[in-house]
Amino acid sequence: MSSEGGATAYIVHHLTPLTVGEGFWTLHLDTLFFSAVLGGLFILFFKYVADRATAGVPGLAQNIAEMLVEFVDTQVKDSFHGRNELIAPLALSIFCWVFLWNAMDMLPVDLVPDIAGFMGMGYMRVVPSTDLNSTFALSLSVFFLILFYSIKVKGVLGFAKEMTCTPFGPWLMPFNLMLKLVEEVAKPISLALRLFGNLYAGELIFILIALLPPLIQPLLGFPWAVFHILVITLQAFIFMVLTIVYLSLAHEEH
């Protein structure tokens, strides 16, 4: 096999998910597994902190949890203008879960796939946010909440009026409806593609660095890893903030 062919096969292997089923019913087992494990870690961490919370001198875990809660609470207070007790816990869950998804990108490229190969599994993609299915699933969940609260707060008639009479008034209902449909559909698409695109590109760069000679890898890998810490945090933050903003718009009665 040529070096170019070997490099292509290496890249394809690392970006191919472990699947079962065919067609529409294909399941990406690695994405489902790591998403469930990371979600469980998030829940267990906050439960651990809640069970051992103290008003005295807090430990490291309590400090981290309090910083995250205060950070998310500040973003909700600044961006959400309605009244809904679900928004802050939802925003905290989204930020932490997406951050943990993205943080899997910091593991050595060959570590988990080699372990999976030793166990007889041919493929293993460890970063859930490099799977378009997972980012779309999360963005669609947010989209359904947007529709639910838009109808709940405004009423069916108010929601229909907003979709057909803004921004140009009732005389241009078909044009208004077309614009509003594009605007609403663009929300989950932009959420999903932004997260997927940034993390997929980041993972691809790590894979390309892994193809370089061993002496060169640390020279490029370490600076990229340091910069990538900002990327994974920023993408989790953007997903959370846009979710808050979209749900705030859904709660505006006017």
The two structure tokens encoding residue 101: 């998804």
The two structure tokens encoding residue 138: 């999360």
| CA atoms 36, 29, 26, 12: torsion sign | positive
The two structure tokens encoding residue 245: 């903003």
Catalytic choice (93, 133, 194, 248) = 194
Contacts of 99 (CB under 8 A, 6+ apart): 232, 233, 236
Cis amide prior to 174 (ω within 30 degrees) = no
Radius of gyration of the chain (CA): 22
The two structure tokens encoding residue 129: 């946010």
Q: How many Cβ atoms sit within 10 Å of the Cβ of residue 112?
A: 18
H-type alpha helices, 120-172 = 132-165
**Known catalytic membership, residue 125:** no
Angle at 116 between CA 113 and CA 121, to 5 degrees: 115
**Known catalytic membership, residue 194:** yes
| CA atoms 154, 157, 163, 164: torsion sign | negative
**Known catalytic membership, residue 102:** no
* Residues catalogued as catalytic: 190, 194, 198
